[in-house]
Amino acid sequence: MSDREQKLRDLFKDVPEAQKEIAFSIISDCVFYEEQIAQLKKLPMIIVDKNNPTKQKATPGQKLIKEFSQTLTNNRKLLLMILYRSATGTNETNTLEELLKGFE
């Protein structure tokens, strides 16, 4: 386990056990994607046509960076949602029930 992964896991020490298991799985994925993105950033991002330099194409590495970044962003949102719900003691069903009571 890397230092980065351990630091992220430490943030979830006060989270309920069921949510902690999910968070730890997501954390492992996040660290993996961060490492992959760092490696891919070392590669060229654009292919320039030798005959016509105005024509350029994204490399497969650049496309992977975009895909991995989107996945990483979604995973981070999930982790933040778990932390928020744990800190506030709320979950979606309670919030929805409260909203529906306002319409009665």
User: Model pTM?
Assistant: 0.76
Specify the pLDDT at position 98: 64
Specify the pLDDT at position 74: 95
Coil, strand or helix at 44: coil
Number of domains making up the chain: 1
Determine contact, residues 37/30, Cβ cutoff 8 Å: no
Q: Which residues of the chain have pLDDT under 70?
A: 90-104
- Residue tagged 């744990």 (tokens): 86
Helices (H), the chain: 3-10, 17-40, 60-88, 92-101
Specify the pLDDT at position 18: 85
User: First-to-last CA distance in the chain?
Assistant: 51
**Structural domain of 38:** 3-101
Distance between CA atoms of 17 and 63, rounded to whole angstroms?
36
How is residue 1 written in tokens? 């386990």
Specify the pLDDT at position 63: 94
Specify the pLDDT at position 1: 79
Distance between CA atoms of 30 and 8, rounded to whole angstroms?
10
**What separation in angstroms does the CA of 103 have from each of 13, 93, 95?**
37, 16, 13
